[in-house]
A and B are shown apart, each in its own frame.
Chain A
């Protein structure tokens, strides 16, 4: 009788080490490259956003649970940690570096309680319940000033207690490295979670809860446990938020923040583990940079989101991975002109629409002294019909050409996919 064959993971997975090593290197090197105060502050926020989005994706991507109220867990943890911080100023013996863990436990506790209610149901009802619970907590934040501090919020001071190894968390760079360490550890822990039996079961519950029940597992409990784990990481993000900003107001539990988690996690890509990392970076960049570019940024954000839902429901991560797959087969070259065409026509359409939107905003909000609008280096007169006709024509022409290019691109794309499938079937793996 032949001995049972044992399959092992390859002992030395160079790709994996390269990816994780690169990630760590990026976290360490980023503030050295971008060393202005603003850049370091943004980088700190990115670390927090990455943890929050990854935690959110444990629900959306891995569990198929669409939550409209995940800011509740990060936000409540922020409040708990800022109160802890104030207690620590009175002499409670807790090192500042462990405060995010306390935040994690707080987030976990709230997720244990509220998640018990919301995870009783799945799908659309789950989404509605999380929305309702989010509204509940937000409405309560204005009612209980002892905990939420009313309109002004609660502030604290992160420089408390003795310095450990000469680190007192006064300067931003020390806080950044604390955030970076937590970001790396949480990313690794959440990746490890996807490899645990619970993580696998969660995927199964997402895909076919009935079958999971037949196998003897309780789908509800699996959802609940995953929710609690996600609440823990969201809480860590909330604790880091407290340390970074030293002030917590009621908007951290608000619907706008929950919406931002959803929006950017989705834009980053829910079907790949690293998608939310892109999403977190985008979230901070969008909030910090888009208002500089245009007053109409929430409109752009909404339009981009709608566009992505329609053409790439897998987010940026899936776009990247699909192209990586094509590149591996050496077929990316012929697609590049089509990509250039798509980008050019889309840019033209967006420029036309952008000019019109800027002019409406200008007229509506009376931002300038006269009717002139600066847009992409041009000066447009918001009251002259020429600018309007020009913008409309540019937008219409761009959109029409985009549609033509898109159809051509799709044909090309399908042909490429068929080629790859044909090769794979012949066993010619790259």
Chain B
């Protein structure tokens, strides 16, 4: 029971991190029609900038400074490069961001080296936020860590939930709320939403639409960087982190339906939970058959297909989900666009 509760929370926190990334990606896509291939690179850049700032000024200033820095870089890239490529069409735009992802990866390796760097979470976020203890007298919730002796008692199991994960969830939800308020309650949000659907009309009304594009691109990059600071402190800060998350967030936006924020939200949570549970489960097809009472010849029982456990295939589950969604519902869960 406590295993499921904590795994669910872990999965949700990972899913929310994915959503922080895919929200910016979706926003940029629905506005400019550009799928930003370098989005995960901005995530990585945020983690590294956060690491650099945190080493001098502490984690909390890094949480502010890294997104601001990446905002400036993203806006600059849009202004100097993407806007020039825009007239050639969407494929060159995608290629420009593809090239950018190469350059960012190489620059990061140039400055910070090819290995992982140490980026510990701040003092306040170390250790568990709370611990679920299931003992003989039922399930109990303890704030913070629980003494090791208590966990070793008979018929007692402890499941700690890391504080960084809790912080990740809180930040993502706060960001989601702020984004929703910004888009629906403010004047700039109104202009952005109008520019999504009717850019010419908005321009005719006297708004500088290219500038709005630039700001949205920068803001999307900044959101990715914010996720990067938190993700980098929670997981590992290394050059490969862009590739790991990059493919996943593209799966998220396709599964959720390209351009749909709500779809991206559902797909992020789905993939986060799916992967977290799969990693923790050690069942295989062979085990399932054995449990059903099917006896197999030794040669068959020893084949890779039957021996692979769910934990082993966890990395490909998101892609299998992608294939499944494409077969059953080609435009994605909540997608409306046909191509």
- Mask, B301-326, CB within 8 Å of A = 1, is 00010001000110110111011001
**Cβ A309 vs Cβ B92 within 8 A:** yes
Is A287 an interface position by the 8 A CB rule? no
**Cβ A360 vs Cβ B111 within 8 A:** yes
Most chain B beta carbons < 10 A, residue from A139, A306, A313: A306
- Mask, A104-123, CB within 8 Å of B = 1, is 00000000000001001111
Is A303 an interface position by the 8 A CB rule? yes
- Mask, B65-101, CB within 8 Å of A = 1, is 0000000000000000100110010111011101110
**Cβ B315 vs Cβ A122 within 8 A:** no
Minimum C-beta distance from A341 to chain B (A): 21
**Cβ B254 vs Cβ A310 within 8 A:** no
Is A296 an interface position by the 8 A CB rule? yes
Interface residues of A in 115-170 (CB under 8 A from B): 117, 120-125, 127-129, 131-133, 135-136, 139-140, 143-146
Is B29 an interface position by the 8 A CB rule? yes
**Cβ B94 vs Cβ A127 within 8 A:** yes
Minimum C-beta distance from A137 to chain B (A): 9
- Mask, A321-346, CB within 8 Å of B = 1, is 00000000000000000000000000
Minimum CB distance partner of A122 in chain B:
B339
**Chain A residue contacts of B330, Cβ below 8 A:** 120-121
**Chain B residue contacts of A129, Cβ below 8 A:** 254, 322, 326
Is A255 an interface position by the 8 A CB rule? yes
- Mask, B225-255, CB within 8 Å of A = 1, is 0000000000000000001000100110110
**Cβ B326 vs Cβ A120 within 8 A:** yes
**Chain A residue contacts of B33, Cβ below 8 A:** 124
**Cβ B327 vs Cβ A262 within 8 A:** no
**Cβ B254 vs Cβ A132 within 8 A:** yes
**Chain A residue contacts of B90, Cβ below 8 A:** 123-124
Pick the interface stretch among B102-110, B127-135, B205-213. Answer: B102-110
Minimum C-beta distance from A354 to chain B (A): 13
Interface residues of A in 263-310 (CB under 8 A from B): 263, 266, 296, 298-299, 301-303, 305-306, 309-310
Give the interface residue-count category, chain A: 35 or more
Is B35 an interface position by the 8 A CB rule? yes
- Mask, B139-156, CB within 8 Å of A = 1, is 000000000000000000
**Cβ A266 vs Cβ B95 within 8 A:** yes
Cβ-neighbour of A128 out of B35, B98, B318 (below 8 A) = B35
Is B58 an interface position by the 8 A CB rule? no
Identify the A interface with B (CB < 8 A).
Answer: 60, 64, 66, 117, 120-125, 127-129, 131-133, 135-136, 139-140, 143-146, 209, 255, 259, 262-263, 266, 296, 298-299, 301-303, 305-306, 309-310, 313, 357, 360-361, 364-365
A and B contact pairs by CB, cutoff 8 A, 19 listed: A66-B91, A117-B326, A121-B326, A123-B90, A131-B247, A132-B250, A133-B323, A136-B322, A146-B304, A209-B339, A296-B110, A299-B102, A299-B110, A302-B103, A306-B99, A309-B85, A309-B95, A309-B99, A313-B85
Identify the B interface with A (CB < 8 A).
Answer: 29, 33, 35, 81, 84-85, 88, 90-92, 94-96, 98-100, 102-103, 105-107, 110-111, 113, 243, 247, 250-251, 253-254, 258, 304, 308, 312-313, 315-316, 318-320, 322-323, 326-327, 330, 339
Q: A123-B339, A299-B103 known; 17 other A-B pairs, CB under 8 Å?
A: A60-B91, A66-B91, A124-B35, A124-B94, A125-B254, A135-B247, A139-B315, A139-B319, A143-B316, A209-B339, A299-B102, A302-B103, A303-B103, A305-B95, A306-B81, A310-B81, A310-B96
